[in-house]
Amino acid sequence: MNRASLMSKPWAATALVCALALSAVGPVLAQAAETAAPAKLANIVIVATGGTIAGTGATSTTTVGYTAAKVGVERLIEAVPELKKVANVRGEQVFQVASENMTDDLWLKLGKRVNQLLAQSDVDGIVITHGTDTLEETAYFLDLVVKSSKPVVLVGAMRPSTAISADGPINLYNATLLAASPAAVGKGVLVALNDQINAGRDVTKVNTSTLDTFRTPDLGFLGYLQDNQAHFYRTPVRKHTLATEFDIVKLETLPKVDIVYGYANASRVPVDALVAAGAKGIIHAGVGDGSVHKNVMPGLTDARKKGVVVVRSSRVGSGIIARNGEANDDELDLVVSDSLNPQKARILLMLGLTKTNDTKELQRMFRAY
C-alpha cells in the first residue's frame, strides 16, 4: 500500500503520523533515559554482631572448628564491593560475639539501636550480620520489638570468611539487596541465607553445618533471592513489628524464662532447680504434641502454684500444640505455644511477662504472634 492510498484511509493516516512522530522523538527519549539520574539507592546500615560470617579459619579448607566473630564490619563491607551497586551502605559494629553466647542484655542493646537507626529519615533499612546458632532467636525477638515497617534482614554464613566458596559475601550481598527492596517493606524481620527469604517468626536452623540449614518447616520460605532481585511468594500473617504490643525502650532486663527438655524417663529435678533459681516462666519442650512425662508434671504444677508461668511446647519442631490435648491446660492453668518451637516460645513469654502474668492474656499472645 503506497503513501497516497495510506492517506486515503483515516486509520492508516493516523498510524502513519504516529510512526513518523515516534521515529523523530525516539532518539531524544533514548538519550534522556541514558542521561536521567540513576534511581536513588536505598540507605542501608549494616549492623554487625559477630558470628561465622565474621569468622576466620586456619586454612582455606577449614569449614568447621574455626573462630567466629573476628572480622570487623568495615572489612565485611570491603570484601563485597558489589554492595555499592544495590545500596548506599555504611557499617556499625554493635558487638562482636559468637552467637551461642547471645544474652538478653545484648538483645536489648541491639533492639534499641536498631529502633534508633530506623527512626532516622536517612536510614531505609537494616542488615544485621549475626552468628547462625541463635540467629532464629534474635530474628524473632526483633520481629516482636522493632517499631518500623522498614526492612530488617538478618544474615549469617555457614563457612568462615577465609574458606574456599565462603557463603558470607553472597549472603551479605543478597541480604543488602533484600533490605533495599520495596517489596520487603512491612514483611516483618526477615532472614536471608542461601538465596532464600525466610520469616523471622518461623525460620529455624535444622543442620549443624550445611549451607541450606535455615528452613521453615511445613510452611516454607517466603521467596527467593535470584538474578539480583527479591522474589516474594508469601507474606507473614502473624503480628509483627509495628503491630506488636511490646516496647523495650524502658526495659533494662528481661524476665528469666528457661526451657526444660522432655524425654523418656525424665524427672522434675530440672524444673525444681529452675524455679529455685528464680525462673518467672518455664517452657516445657515436650515430646509429641507437647506431652509431659508423669514424673515431670508435678514439678510443673508446683511451679505454677508458685506463680511461675508454664508453657507447653514441643521438641518435635513443627505443628501446633493443641490446647487441652495432651494435658488439661484449663484445669492446670498452663499455656500452649501454638506453633512456636521452645526457643521462640521462650522469647514471646519473656516479652509477654513484661506486660502481664495473666495466663489468659499470655495465651492470647501465643495465638496472635
Q: 224 and 190 in contact (C-beta within 8 Å)?
A: no
Q: How far is the CB of 189 from ligand DAS (least distance, A)?
A: 17
The three-point CA angle 107-111-115 to 5° equals 175
Please identify, using beta-carbon distances, which residue of 131 and 188 lies nearer to ligand DAS: 131
Stretch of 77-85, 93-101, 172-180, 288-296 contacting ligand DAS, by CB under 6 A: 93-101
Q: How far is the CB of 106 from ligand DAS (least distance, A)?
A: 12
Q: Taking CB under 6 A as the rule, does residue 98 contact ligand DAS?
A: yes
Q: How far is the CB of 125 from ligand DAS (least distance, A)?
A: 22
Please identify, using beta-carbon distances, which residue of 51 and 125 lies nearer to ligand DAS: 51
Residue 100: helix, strand or coil by DSSP? helix
Region of residue 120 (left: phi > 0; alpha: psi -120 to 50; beta: else): beta
Stretch of 98-106, 182-190, 308-316, 320-328 contacting ligand DAS, by CB under 6 A: 98-106
Residues within window 139-158 making contact with ligand DAS, judged by CB under 6 A: 156
Q: Taking CB under 6 A as the rule, does residue 124 contact ligand DAS?
A: no
Q: 127 and 86 in contact (C-beta within 8 Å)?
A: no
Q: Taking CB under 6 A as the rule, does residue 131 contact ligand DAS?
A: yes
* Cell numbers found for residue 207: 543442620
Q: How far is the CB of 99 from ligand DAS (least distance, A)?
A: 3
* Cell numbers found for residue 177: 539487596
Q: Which of 44, 63, 99, 335 binds ligand DAS (CB under 6 A)?
A: 99
Region of residue 129 (left: phi > 0; alpha: psi -120 to 50; beta: else): beta
293 burial class (0-12, 13-18, 19+ CB within 10 angstroms)? middle
Q: Binding-site residue total for ligand DAS (CB under 6 A)?
A: 11
Q: What is the DSSP string of 13-27?
A: HHHHHHHHHHHHHHH
Stretch of 15-23, 46-54, 218-226, 232-240 contacting ligand DAS, by CB under 6 A: 46-54
Please identify, using beta-carbon distances, which residue of 23 and 210 lies nearer to ligand DAS: 210
Stretch of 126-134, 247-255, 285-293, 296-304 contacting ligand DAS, by CB under 6 A: 126-134
Hey, what amino acid is at 189? Answer: V
Q: How far is the CB of 55 from ligand DAS (least distance, A)?
A: 6
What distance in Å separates the CA atoms of residue 247 and residue 363, rounded to the nearest whole number? 19
User: Minimal CA–CA distance to 178: which of 220, 215, 128, 127?
Assistant: 127
Q: 104 and 57 in contact (C-beta within 8 Å)?
A: no
Taking residues 154 to 183 in sequence order and writing x for each that binds ligand DAS by CB under 6 A, - otherwise, the string is --x---------------------------
Q: Taking CB under 6 A as the rule, does residue 100 contact ligand DAS?
A: yes
CA distance readout (Å), 69 to 48, 100, 168, 196, 219: 9, 11, 13, 23, 32
241 carries an active-site annotation: no
Residue 51: helix, strand or coil by DSSP? coil
Taking residues 192 to 231 in sequence order and writing x for each that binds ligand DAS by CB under 6 A, - otherwise, the string is ----------------------------------------
Chain position whose Cβ is nearest to ligand DAS:
131
User: Minimal CA–CA distance to 219: which of 239, 230, 229, 204?
Assistant: 204
Q: Taking CB under 6 A as the rule, does residue 51 contact ligand DAS?
A: yes
Please identify, using beta-carbon distances, which residue of 52 and 216 lies nearer to ligand DAS: 52
- Of the candidates 52, 129, 134, 359, the residue annotated as catalytic is 52
Within a 13 Å sphere around the CA of 215, how many CA atoms are in the beta-carbon half? Answer: 11
Stretch of 50-58, 120-128, 141-149, 339-347 contacting ligand DAS, by CB under 6 A: 50-58
Binding site for ligand DAS (CB under 6 A): 50-52, 68, 98-100, 131-133, 156
- Which residues have a catalytic role annotated? 52
